Amino acid sequence: MTNAILTGLMLGGMYALIAMGLTLQYGVARIMNLSYGEVLIAAAFGAQGLFTGWALSPFAGLAFVIPVAFLLNLAIYRVLLSPLVRRARTRDALEVDSILATFGLAFILQGIMLSMFGGAYYSYSYLASPVHLFGETIAANRLAALAVCILLGGSLYLALTQTRGGTAIRAVAVDPAAAQLVAIDVARTAAFTFALGGALVASAGVLISTFLTFSATSGVVFTMKALIVVVMGGVGNMLGCLVAGLLLGVSEALVASLIDPGLTLAVNFALFLVVLLVKPAGLFGRASR
Amino acid sequence: MLEVDSLSLAYGLHRALDKVALTVGSGEIVCILGANGAGKSSLLKAIAGLLPSLPGKRVMLGDRDLSRLPAHRIVECGLALVPEGRGIFGELTVAENLLLGANPKRARDGEAARREEVLTLFPRLRERLHQTVRTMSGGEQQMVAIGRALMSRPDVLLLDEPSLGLSPAMVHELFATLQRVREAGLGLLLVEQNASESLRIADRGYVLENGVIIDHDTANNLKRKPAVQRAYLGG
A174/B103 Cβ within 8 A: no
The pLDDT-based confidence of B198 (bands split at 50, 70, 90) is: confident
Does A131 score more than 60 pLDDT? Answer: yes
What is the residue-wise DSSP string for chain A?
-HHHHHHHHHHHHHHHHHHHHHHHHHHHH----TTHHHHHHHHHHHHHHHHHHH---HHHHHHHHHHHHHHHHHHHIIIIIHHHHHH-SSHHHHHHHHHHHHHHHHHHHHHHHHHHHTT--B---SS--EEEETTEEEEHHHHHHHHHHHHHHHHHHHHHHHSHHHHHHHHHHH-HHHHHTTT--HHHHHHHHHHHHHHHHHHHHHHHHTTS-B-TTTHHHHHHHHHHHHHHH-TT-HHHHHHHHHHHHHHHHHHHHHT-GGGHHHHHHHHHHHHHHH-TT-SS-----
For residues A6 and A105, which has the higher predicted lDDT (pLDDT)?
A105
The residue-averaged pLDDT of B78-90 equals 89
Q: Do B72 and A175 touch (CB under 8 A)?
A: no
Residue B159, beta-bridge partner list = B82, B190
**Could you say which of B87, B102, B105 has the minimum Cβ distance to residue A181?**
B87
CA distance linking residue A142 with residue A245, whole number of Å = 17
pLDDT tens sequence across B93-127: 999 999 999 999 999 999 999 999 999 989 999 99
Rounded to whole angstroms, the Cα distance separating B147 from B153 reads: 10
Domains, chain B, in order of start with CATH, read: 2-232 (3.40.50.300)
Q: What is the mean pLDDT of chain B?
A: 90
Chain A residue with minimal CA distance to B150? A182
> What is the rounded CA–CA span in Å between residue B201 and residue B188?
11
A190 in contact with B at a CB cutoff of 8 Å?
no
Q: What pLDDT was estimated at residue A287?
A: 57
What pLDDT digit, counting tens, does each position of B218-230 carry? 999 998 888 888 8
Predicted ipTM of the assembly? 0.87
Helix, strand, or coil (residue B89):
coil
pLDDT interval class at A289 (50, 70, 90): very low
Instruction: Give yes or no for a contact between A236 and A32, defined as CB atoms under 8 angstroms apart.
Output: no
d(CA B145, CA A105): 42
In this structure, the dihedral spanned by the alpha carbons of residues B188, B192, B194 and B200, taken in order and rounded to 10 degrees, is 20
Amino acid, single-letter form, for residue B211: G
B89 contacts A174? CB cut-off 8 A: yes
Task: Flag whether residue A167 sits within 8 Å of chain B, measured between CB atoms.
Answer: yes
Q: How far apart are CA B136 and CA B21, in angstroms?
A: 37
- Looking at per-residue pLDDT, the higher value among A238 and A44 belongs to A44
Tell whether A287 is within 8 A of chain B (Cβ): no
CA distance A100 to chain B (A): 30
pLDDT level of residue B235 (50, 70, 90 thresholds): low
Smallest CA–CA separation between A14 and chain B, in Å? 27
Residue B89 gets the label, from left (phi > 0), alpha (psi -120 to 50) or beta, of: beta
